[in-house]
Amino acid sequence: MTKKLYIKTYGCQMNVYDTERMVDVMAPEGYQVTDKPDDADLVVLNTCHIREKAAEKVYSDIGRIRQMKEKHNREGRDMVLAVGGCVAQAEGGEIMKRAPAVDMVFGPQTYHRLPDMVNRAITAKAAGRKPRILDTDLSVDEKFDSLSRKQVERKSSAFLTVQEGCDKFCTYCVVPYTRGAEFSRSVEDVMNDARRLAEAGVVEVTLLGQNVNAYHGLTVSGEEWSLARLIRELAKDPGFRRIRYTTSHPADMSEDLIRVHAEVEECMPYLHLPVQAGSDRILKAMNRHHTAESYRRIIEELRRARPDIALSGDFIVGFPGETDAEFGETMHLVRDIGYAQAYSFKYSARPGTPAAVMDDQVPEDVKAARLAELQAELSRQQVAFNENTVGRVMPVLLERRGKETGQLVGRSPYMQAVHVTLPNKEDVAALFGQIVDVKILAAGPHSLKGEVVGPAQAGQPAA
C-alpha cells in the first residue's frame, strides 16, 4: 500500500541533500513524496539552526501540523510527525517536552534509521501507546555506510556530500554541536557515488560539506586526498561538465585548491567563501581563524588564478561588542572585494554557544540599521554584476521549466538564474537538462534573460 511522505526542508544545501536521502530510505517502505502536508502519513520537519529564531519557526510549524494531525485522527487516519535536523539535535529533549504532537525527534546523522523509527512509532500507536522516539547519535560514518544505494533519478545537476561536521568552533555557531566533528568520506565512497551520478546523466556536481575545503579523505591504500585532488580526479570523468563546491572556510583555502581554479576548466568560476566581518578584533572574538587581510590575500590569489571568478560571502552584523567603527571595517572590506552575491544576517544568540553569554550585546535597532546599510551595498553590487553580463554569451545549464509557456530556466557559470523562451515544444524537450550557449539580453536584481544562440563549448564562459 502506497503511503505519503511530506518533508519541509529548512536552511542550507546540506539539509536539501539530507532530505533527498530521507526520500531514498523511505521509498522501499512504500512512501511516495507529496507536496501537501495534510495528505501525508509521515511529516518530517528537517530543521536548520543557523537562521534567526530558528526554533520558534519550527514550533510554529509543529502547531500547524498538529491541527492537521488532529483532523486525521477525527477521520480515522493517522499521521506520524517527526522533527529532524539541527534544531532536533540541539533541542531534542525540549521539543519532546514542549510539543506532545511530535512522535519522533532525530538528528542529522541518524536519518538512515528513519524506517526503523517510523515502524516503531506505528507499532506504538497500534498498541495504544504514545510514541516518544528520540535519536540524536552523532555517528556520521555509520550514516554514510547505511545510505540507500538505489539508482539516482535522471537529472542534470546533483549534490554530493564529501565532508560533514566542523572543528572550527566559531563562537556564534551551533554546527559543531549539531553536526559533530569534521568527517571526510573515503575516496572510494565518493568516487563510487560520483560514477552513479555521471551514469544517471548528471553534468553538474556540487561537492558539499560544512567545511568542504577541509576534505581529507583516505584511499583504500591509506593515501590522503585533498579537495583539490578530488576535483582533479572528478574532472577526468567525461560526464561532468561542471564541478562546484560549498561551503568553504578561508583557513582551509590551500594554494593547490586555488590552482584548481586556473587549471581545471570544469571547476566553475564561482566561489562561496564566507568572511563574516571586516574587523580583526571581531573576527578574533568570533574565533574565525583568519584576518581581514588574510582573506583579502586569498581573494587576490584567486583572481590571479581565475580573473573572471565571481564571489559570494556571508556576513554577520551586530556581533557582541561590535562598534560603529568595526562595522565600518566590514563595509570597507565589502567595497574592496566586490561580491556577485552574498548572504547577510543580524547576529542572534544561539543557546549553548560562547557568544550567547558575551557582554555588550548590540541593541536590535542598531543591528537592523547596520544590516540595512550592508544589504543595500550588497544589492548594488549584485545588480552591477548582473548588468555587466548583458551582451555576453555564456554556457547555461537549462534545468527547470519556467512559469511561461516555452520557458526554461537555467544557471550560468556564476550561479545566476537565466530565463530563456523557446519558440516550440520540440526545442523545450530537446534542450531541457542541456548546457547551451545563451546571449544575455537583460539583467534584473536576481536573474537574467537571454536567448539560445548555440551549443556550449566545454563549460568555459565566452567573452
pLDDT of residue 51: 67
CA 109/CA 87 separation, integer angstroms: 13
pTM of the model: 0.84
SS (H, E, C) 215-275: CEEECCCCCEEEHHHHHHHHCCCCCCCEEEEECCCHHHCCHHHHHHHHHCCCECCEEECCC
- Say if CB 317 and CB 327 are below 8 A apart: yes
C-alpha cell at 66: 498538529
C-alpha cell at 230: 578530488
pLDDT tens digits in sequence order for the chain, 463 residues long: 789 999 999 987 888 888 988 998 899 899 999 999 999 999 999 998 776 677 788 999 999 999 999 998 888 888 999 999 988 888 888 999 999 999 999 988 888 889 999 999 999 998 889 898 998 876 666 656 554 444 455 589 999 999 999 999 999 998 888 888 899 999 999 999 999 999 999 999 999 999 999 999 999 999 999 999 999 999 999 999 999 999 999 999 999 999 999 999 999 999 999 999 999 999 999 999 999 999 999 999 999 999 999 999 999 999 999 999 999 999 999 999 999 999 999 999 988 899 999 999 999 999 999 999 999 999 999 999 999 999 999 999 999 988 888 899 999 999 999 999 998 877 888 899 999 999 999 999 999 999 999 875 544 444 3
Strand partners, 449: 419, 442
Say which residue the cell 530558528 belongs to. Answer: 54
